Amino acid sequence: MERIGTSSIIYRIGLFQGDSDEAAAEGRFVHVYVDNTRGAGDRPVVPIPEVIRAAVSPLLRPVG
């Protein structure tokens, strides 16, 4: 994981082939937390729930 913000988390991923320690491909994706209890088109961004923040915080790794 690259970063934990107020309402989003940036995950870094790598795809490895065989026993190689070098990634064949790398990427990242952003997970933004929204209020999904409202109707379509009205999903405001909300803070990351504390239970989620606690679960993913140990995954945070320095970049580089």
Q: What is the pLDDT of residues 1-60, one digit of tens each?
A: 889 999 999 999 999 999 999 999 999 999 999 998 877 778 899 999 999 999 999 988
Residue 40's pLDDT is 74
Which helix (H) or strand (E) segment holds residue 32: the answer is strand 25-32
Could you tell me which residues come within 8 angstroms of residue 14 by beta carbon, excluding any fewer than 6 positions away?
23, 25, 26, 27
Q: How far is CA 58 from CA 3, 34, 36, 62, in A?
A: 11, 23, 26, 12
Residue 34 tokens read as: 């929204």
